[in-house]
Amino acid sequence: MQIPDIIKGSLDYIERNLKTDITAEELARMANYSTFHYYRLFSSVMDASVASYILKRRLDHALSEIAVGRKAIEVVMEYGFDTYAGFYKAFMKMYGCSPKKFIAIYGKHTPKIPEVATMYTEKELRKILENWDIEKNLPIEDICIPDGAKPSGSDWTVGGYVLRTGDREKLLKDIKIAEALDCQGFASALPVPTTAGGAYLDGREVFILTHRLQGSPLSKPERFGDRRTAVGEEYGAGIARLHRALKEVQNDVSPDDVDLYRIVTDWALPNFRQQNVQWNMGLDERFFRDYLDGFGRLYGKLPRQLVHRNPHPGNILFSDGAVSGFINFDMGEVNIRLWDVCYCSTGLLSETDEENYEKWLDVLGGILRGYDRENRLTTEEKQAIFPVILSIQMVFAVYLEGREELRPLGDTNRKMLKFIVRHKTEIDRLI
């Protein structure tokens, strides 16, 4: 995330002083800002008020210490709560259950204290960009998760370029996939050579600079407007064409081989059972039994290949009403090919309002038919659409709960899952 120096300094100070009385006025004085302007700057950068951010950090630290056996009243008073009742009330509001119930549910798997995300000032990013022979002082802007959500934290536009950082192995895999796709004649984000002649900057972290691809993601009104079924078909057909290309190059990029069924049964589903209790979601044992029986029966028969892994709507570009390209291949893996189809579908649902949930069924039907037209779905794949969607939702429910900065999205995920479960019959009949 690109972040002003003064806010970066504030976050470091907050983290070191959570057991003291920290005020916005104090932080504003340290930054040499008026309290009013500091409030606005902090909220715009962190998407939270100063007080709510500090509260979240204190709750997480206190929970971590209580979970390992420290006396609760001593811990909460150290973190600035006058009484345990005050801590309890704040905890209930954030986590949806009591601290005791949370620890009883998660036991030794109680989440660790989340780290503050790596952030970069504009000055730091410009220093990194000196490693490429490009025009100086190009505008640097955060790339946000679609529809105005928080910055991705690892991607920036730099004029007509994109600067990326992140996990080394995944980024290097991304380069290989881009080069392989380019050899096949597909548009891809090839790396711009550094001044030293390398494909990427290799230091404490790996950075890649690429040219921006033509096209842009569709807006929410375009996705769910009167042409939503046709738009869905274009999404599906585009993913099918992408899969044909990826299948040709998967032996050249040594992708990870993922067993989705095992990930769900060994990790996501047990944790999701706990969330079902924690958040009173009302899913009974029959729901879990039917899922395990149905998906277990079908999983071994589902076609597998190299997939994009992250084809949410923000990673699919359109130009002149048609899919023109895909971005962010760093998570590519061998998985069931239904993953991409269903992931795109749930990504569209996650980025719309509840009033559009019913319309999503039309979009989903279009995606399935568009894919099937270009790359035939097997009988088993058609039967597995509902359990694959459930798998994605459970994986994300657990993932979101494990990352403090994403935890507010958990409520959206739970609403989506309830809607999906209620409409199982309609989903099964879409194709």
204: alpha, beta or left, given left = phi > 0 and alpha = psi -120 to 50? Answer: alpha
**Domains along the chain?**
5-109 (1.10.10.60), 122-211 (3.30.200.20), 220-428 (3.90.1200.10)
Least reliable range by pLDDT among 37-46, 167-176, 386-395: 167-176
Judged against a pLDDT cut of 90, whether residue 248 lies above it is answered with no
Which of the four pLDDT bands, split at 50, 70 and 90, describes residue 116?
low
- Give the per-residue pLDDT at 392: 96
Comparing 383 with 109, the larger pLDDT belongs to 383
- φ and ψ at 20, to 5 degrees? -115, 175
Judged against a pLDDT cut of 60, whether residue 112 lies above it is answered with no
Give CA–CA dist 401/95, Å, rounded: 9
Least reliable range by pLDDT among 143-152, 156-165, 245-254, 257-266: 143-152
Query: Which is it for the CA torsion 83, 88, 89, 90, positive or negative?
Result: positive
**Two structure tokens written together for 430:** 């879409």
Q: What is the mean pLDDT of the chain?
A: 87
For residue range 355-369, list pLDDT tens digits in order. 999 999 999 999 999
CB-CB contact of 191 with 132 (8 Å): no
Least Cα distance to 264 among 323, 333, 195, 339 occurs for 339
Give CA–CA dist 396/268, Å, rounded: 8
Which residue shows structure tokens 């795109």?
344
CB-CB contact of 143 with 157 (8 Å): yes
Which of the four pLDDT bands, split at 50, 70 and 90, describes residue 12?
confident
For residue range 175-194, list pLDDT tens digits in order. 877 886 677 556 788 899 99
- Give the per-residue pLDDT at 225: 94
- Give the per-residue pLDDT at 68: 85
Which of the four pLDDT bands, split at 50, 70 and 90, describes residue 291?
very high
Give CA–CA dist 215/272, Å, rounded: 37
